C-alpha cells in the first residue's frame, strides 16, 4: 500500500483519480483549496479509512510524508482561470516548485497534469508531443497556457538537475460526471443548455474542432503513466483522437437529450484554438493505452449526471 498525494483532488479529474487510487488499494491524501474543487465530489470517500482530505493552497509549502505525488491543482476552464489570472499562474508555477521540492526531499516520483493548451492555436494538425506550440504570452489565456508550459520546464529541469523521477501528461479535452455545470467548458455548457431548453451558444461558426476523452479513459492513462517504465518521463498526450466540430457536438447533444434548443452564434473569443486533436502513438506504445469509450456512450453518462444534478 502506497500513501499517495493528489493535489486538486476534489476537482473533476482529481476526484476520479482518488477513486481509482483507493480502488487499487492505496492510501490517498487529497489536497485542495476548493477554489474550483468541491467536497461533493469526494463526499463518498470521506468515511473511507484510506482517504484523507486536507484544505490547502499549494502556492504555500506543504510538509507531508507520502510515496508518490500527482499534481493536478489548477483551475482548468477559461471561466475559472481567467477570473484570477495572477493566481492561476502562481498555482501552476509556484505550486509546481513546491510540489517538486517536496518530491525532491522525499526522493519520490511525481506526475504533472499538463495540458494540450501548451500547443496553443496549433499550426500543425494533429498535435504530436514533438510540436513546440504556437502560444501567445500576452493574451487572456496565457495565464493558464504559459503557466503550464513553465511548469513543464520546471519538471524537466528538476529531472536533469536533481535526478527527480518525473512523469508529464498532456491532457486533451476531458468530460464526464462531476464536471461543474458552470465551468464554461463546451460539453457542460451544451448539456446544461439543452436540458434546460435554452439556446445553445456556439462561438465562431461552429467549425472549430475538439477531441473529447471520457474521464475514465483519461484516469486510466494517468495511472498507467505514473506506473510506466523507469526513465520514461513523457511528455505524453492523453486524449481521444476522434475529432468533432462544435456543430456536430451540439447536434448530438440535442438529439441525446431530446431538446428543443436552437443554436445561436457569438464571436470567437481571443486566442481560442481552431483545432485540437492528439497524436497518441506514444501513449499506445509506452503505456499500452488508448481510449475505449466513444463520444455517444460518454455523453449519455454525462447527460445522466447533469439530469440528476439539475432536476
- Catalytic residues, which ones? 144
Which residue blocks in the chain are alpha helix, DSSP H? 12-23, 78-81, 85-106, 142-162, 186-196, 215-226, 246-257, 281-287, 295-310
Bridge partners (DSSP) of residue 152 are none
Q: What are phi and psi of 30, to 5 degrees?
A: -95, 120
Which cell goes with 3? 500513501
Cα–Cα distance between 29 and 83 in angstroms, integer?
Answer: 28
Structural element, H or E, at residue 278: none
- Please state the separation of Cα 129 from the chain's center in Å: 17
Measured from the Cβ of residue 63, the count of other Cβ atoms closer than 10 Å reads 6
Q: Are 39 and 22 in contact (CB under 8 A)?
A: no
Cα–Cα distance between 259 and 197 in angstroms, integer?
Answer: 6
Amino acid at each position: 500500500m502506497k500513501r499517495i498525494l493528489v493535489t486538486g483532488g476534489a476537482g473533476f479529474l482529481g476526484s476520479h483519480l482518488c477513486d481509482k487510487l483507493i480502488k487499487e488499494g492505496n492510501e490517498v491524501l487529497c489536497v485542495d483549496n476548493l477554489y474550483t474543487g468541491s467536497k461533493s465530489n469526494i463526499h463518498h470517500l470521506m468515511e473511507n479509512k484510506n482517504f484523507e482530505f486536507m484544505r490547502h493552497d499549494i502556492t504555500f509549502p506543504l510538509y507531508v510524508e507520502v510515496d508518490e505525488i500527482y499534481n493536478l491543482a489548477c483551475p482548468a476552464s477559461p471561466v475559472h482561470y481567467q477570473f484570477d489570472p495572477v493566481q492561476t499562474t502562481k498555482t501552476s508555477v509556484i505550486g509546481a516548485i513546491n510540489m517538486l521540492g517536496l518530491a525532491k526531499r522525499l526522493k519520490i516520483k511525481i506526475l504533472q497534469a499538463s495540458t494540450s493548451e501548451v500547443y496553443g492555436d496549433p499550426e500543425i494538425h494533429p498535435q504530436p508531443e514533438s510540436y513546440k506550440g504556437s502560444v501567445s504570452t500576452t493574451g487572456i489565456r496565457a495565464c493558464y497556457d504559459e503557466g503550464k508550459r513553465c511548469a513543464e520546464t520546471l519538471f524537466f529541469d528538476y529531472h536533469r538537475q536533481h535526478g527527480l523521477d518525473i512523469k508529464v501528461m498532456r491532457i486533451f479535452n476531458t468530460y464526464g460526471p462531476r464536471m461543474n455545470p458552470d465551468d464554461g467548458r463546451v460539453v457542460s455548457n451544451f448539456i446544461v443548455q439543452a436540458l434546460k431548453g435554452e439556446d445553445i451558444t456556439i462561438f465562431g461558426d461552429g467549425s472549430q474542432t475538439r477531441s473529447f476523452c471520457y474521464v475514465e479513459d483519461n484516469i486510466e492513462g494517468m495511472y498507467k503513466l505514473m506506473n510506466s517504465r523507469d526513465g520514461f518521463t513523457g511528455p505524453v498526450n492523453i486524449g481521444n483522437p476522434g475529432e468533432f466540430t462544435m456543430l456536430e457536438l451540439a447536434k448530438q447533444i440535442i438529439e441525446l437529450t431530446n431538446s428543443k434548443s436552437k443554436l445561436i452564434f457569438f464571436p470567437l473569443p481571443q486566442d481560442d484554438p481552431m483545432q485540437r486533436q492528439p497524436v497518441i502513438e506514444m501513449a499506445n506504445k509506452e503505456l499500452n493505452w488508448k481510449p475505449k469509450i466513444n463520444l455517444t456512450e460518454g455523453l449519455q453518462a454525462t447527460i445522466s449526471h447533469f439530469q440528476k444534478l439539475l432536476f
